[in-house]
Amino acid sequence: MSSRLHIICGPMFAGKTTRLIQAAHDYQSSNLQLLVVYPRKDTRYKPDALTTHTGVSFPATPINSPQQLLSLATNIQAICIDEAHFFGAELIEVVRALLHESAMHRNITIAGIERNHLGNPFEPFPWLLCEADEVTKLNSSCARCGKPAIHSKRLTESTQRIAVGGIGDYEARCRACFALSEN
């Protein structure tokens, strides 16, 4: 048996954290040693828990950087990482190391947004998607027309790479409505 990488991606409000919590429950019910983490800078909801926009939560450890995973993952068989795009390219080498550690066979499930608010690839997803054994690509409903949405439109003026937000700060948009908003 070898390590496996499962990626869950899609725009805001697509249910990525819900799917990650389901994976964590599955690992837990299989009696695997489990580590669930999210970026400490995501302060939108409960501390020490993954929390969906609808309030469903699961105990988790906030971390400052992906390097913390290397010490936290000792003897861990399953790892769930939420909001991977917050970590950027820094996450790539850490995930690579965790997948290739010869003494462990791990299941790693990672959730996040694979396109930034401009519609461009969001690090670390170009690498993660290529390396994945399984990809679950979710859609949301376009906030403008209701069609399947693949983009997250930032509604604030922030130009930062990461602007923590939720309802009112972002909208899910289909390809057509996203393109119209760029004009």
Which are the catalytic amino acids?
83
Instruction: State how far the Cα of 40 lies from the Cα of 42, in Å rounded to an integer.
Output: 5
Q: What angle do CA 10, 89, 158 make, to 5 degrees?
A: 65
- Give residue 29's Cα distance to chain centre: 22
Q: In angstroms, what CA-CA distances link 127 with 7, 39, 97, 134, 163?
A: 11, 19, 14, 13, 22
Residue pair 105/79 in contact (Cβ under 8 Å)? The answer is no
Instruction: State how far the Cα of 79 lies from the Cα of 105, in Å rounded to an integer.
Output: 11
